[in-house]
Structure 1
């Protein structure tokens, strides 16, 4: 972009002295310091405008995510109730499986039955 000259009217003289003093400390001219501040401010305004546009999109994403969570929770509840009904019908039509489950548990991992109930770590010293 090309350089543009802008005349700024009615600036307080005291403010200009402060800017010139600060510019001298930073080894730049007062015009450079003012130009940098205007550019920084312009960038900030651009970011603020962009964030306003993005806020609407982010709000829509949050709403969509909340809808997905509600749907997931509802589905989980439905599947849980469905599982309860299936189990109750299986219990009605099939004999109880408690004896079979105990037998499976007793036969599972027979090597663990030979392990001591407690370990004395002093034996390893």
Structure 2
């Protein structure tokens, strides 16, 4: 990832304390999708795919689609500031997500998507 892009997103994405995670998330941002797994209570899990077209700057909107698979599948389309998407990608990576390993998005993503709760800085 270019140092210029990291510097552009750093003020919005905890770049001072999570610089390595920011660089990895910006690499993932360029890929345009991830596969994850949402744990269910009391047991089980549900796969999902998150796809996006990012804005070129932190405050520009990213267009995002979420497809939750399995029985009772759901599809969501939304837009949000690209820097917020990058923060959630950083958290997904921190939870063990990778090209070969599914992980869950942070709880703040699901709270935002399903309940409309605005995420706060530093909230997982």
Q: Same fold (TM over 0.5)?
A: no
Normalization by structure 2: what TM-score? 0.25
Q: Which protein is richer in helix relative to its size?
A: 1
Q: Between the two structures, name the one with larger relative contact order (CA 8 Å, sep ≥ 6).
A: 2
